[in-house]
A and B are shown apart, each in its own frame.
Chain A
Amino acid sequence: DSGVTQTPKHLITATGQRVTLRCSPRSGDLSVYWYQQSLDQGLQFLIQYYNGEERAKGNILERFSAQQFPDLHSELNLSSLELGDSALYFCASSPLGRGAPNEQFFGPGTRLTVL
């Protein structure tokens, strides 16, 4: 158990809909990261928040947005969903926002299926 929690574990929805994925980082970690993993693919970085502020942005679609709240939990919002958005979405956390050590610990993921 990494200490990172994600809910829900599974999500099935229809095209055009909007969903929210939730993540709680390990106790004491200030950074939260979101990654997308499509079928049999590597992980693609989406976005990082550090202590409530956006720190880095990757290949995140404009239809996607995220935020980190004062209690450090984070939410990833996916809107106008398309079939191609079906994937595993992972949250990771680390103590720091930048610099070493930058080990990231991953949650169990949310499997999103768009029908």
Chain B
Amino acid sequence: GQQLNQSPQSMFIQEGEDVSMNCTSSSIFNTWLWYKQEPGEGPVLLIALYKAGELTSNGRLTAQFGITRKDSFLNISASIPSDVGIYFCAGHLSENAGNMLTFGGGTRLMVKP
């Protein structure tokens, strides 16, 4: 099946630092979504992107839909301890019959106070 390559797999940073993570694919996606998952909970939607080149912010989070439609990145500015969790990118392929999402492997973020 389709695969999303998400990197880095994990990050251990100091509070206050900026964070950047990205997803790439060999396929073209028409939607990119970014989710955050905390232990014992379901993924929570952070940002949705629908157009190539689109740059969208949600508080300290900024995500972009790559111009080639094959990649996306998520930046977190001035990280705080509650940013800890696993961040997943997810994409939707236009040729899919339904609305299934393909997920990346996740970036585990750890923040040191």
Report A's interface with B, CB cutoff 8 A: 2, 4, 31, 33, 35, 41-45, 48, 50, 55-56, 58-59, 90, 92, 94, 96-109
**Residues of B within 8 Å of A, CB-based: how many?**
28
Question: Could you list 12 A-B pairs, sorted by A, with CB under 8 Å?
Answer: A2-B44, A33-B99, A33-B100, A42-B106, A43-B103, A48-B100, A50-B98, A56-B96, A56-B98, A58-B100, A105-B45, A106-B35
Number of A-B contacts (CB under 8 A): 82
With A90-B43, A107-B42, A109-B41 in contact, is A102–B99 under 8 Å at CB?
A: yes
Known: A48-B99, A56-B97, A101-B50. 18 other contacts (CB 8 A): A33-B100, A41-B105, A42-B6, A42-B103, A48-B98, A48-B100, A90-B42, A98-B97, A99-B99, A100-B92, A101-B31, A102-B92, A103-B48, A104-B101, A106-B44, A106-B45, A108-B41, A108-B42
A residues less than 8 Å from B98 (CB atoms): 31, 48, 50, 55-56, 97-98
Residue B104 is within 8 A (CB to CB) of chain A in the complex: yes
A residues less than 8 Å from B96 (CB atoms): 56
Q: Which of A41, A45, A55, A59 has a CB less than 8 Å from the CB of B101?
A: A45
A residues less than 8 Å from B99 (CB atoms): 31, 33, 48, 55-56, 94, 96-99, 102, 104
Interface contact A106-B50, CB-CB below 8 Å: no
Q: Which of B33, B50, B97 has the most CB of A within 10 A?
A: B97
